[in-house]
Amino acid sequence: MELRAERDSDVDNWKEVMLIYNAALKQITTKLEILNEEFHHVHRYNPIEHIKSRIKTSESIVKKLKRHGYESTIKNMIQYVNDIAGIRVICSFTSDIYQIAEMISHHTDIQVLSVKDYIVNPKESGYKSYHMRVTVPVYLSDRIIDTKVEIQIRTAAMDFWATLEHKIYYKFEGNAPAYFREELAECARMVSDLDKRMLSLNNEILRLESEREG
């Protein structure tokens, strides 16, 4: 499956669109890396463990457009597919997630379009993550294009769970046997408990260090 490209100009447009989304990913990634370095300089602590980025494949874009009843054109792709450019930020603790989200929202050249907090309100499957849909300006030689990027922020434990859920979902095309769903839901509860206990332990370490220094 491919996006419709009836003329050579359509192919050129596709290449330019991909260039723009890649540029947007680079900009957001660089901003996050700088924030992480600055945070370490000030607080001697890195809230970001690592960053993953990806551009959605043409096959995935077409599937998403068809699922929502749209023709597979470049124009519809830009207008209706909001997660073509995606960045996943992995943290150690849940508290880091909200710090990072706040730091991102304070950038004057980043516009936050929407937020979905699946940590406070997990999906029925047990999925947890913090999603931000933003735009960042991409500066070309003759114009500036505000480009959409989806940012997912989660702990390492949440990411481990979500990776397995994603694999199961596509293996069974969304119709996994009941025992898989039940086991995943139980694992999600375990992940949530682990994150809470690790955060509590870290906070206790910080408290003891503060008392020692004081």
Pick from 7, 53, 16: which is nearest to 145 by CA? 16
Token digits of residue 129: 């993550």
Nearest-CA neighbor of 138 among 23, 55, 28, 29? Answer: 23
Please, are residues 81 and 56 in contact by the beta-carbon 8 Å criterion? yes
Longest dimension (CA), the chain: 70
Q: Could you tell me which of 57, 59, 56, 113 has the C-alpha nearest to residue 87?
A: 56
Catalytic residue check, 150: yes
For 193, other C-beta atoms within 10 Å of its C-beta total 11
Question: Which one is catalytic: 59, 102, 150, 213?
Answer: 150
User: Mind telling me the catalytic residues?
Assistant: 150
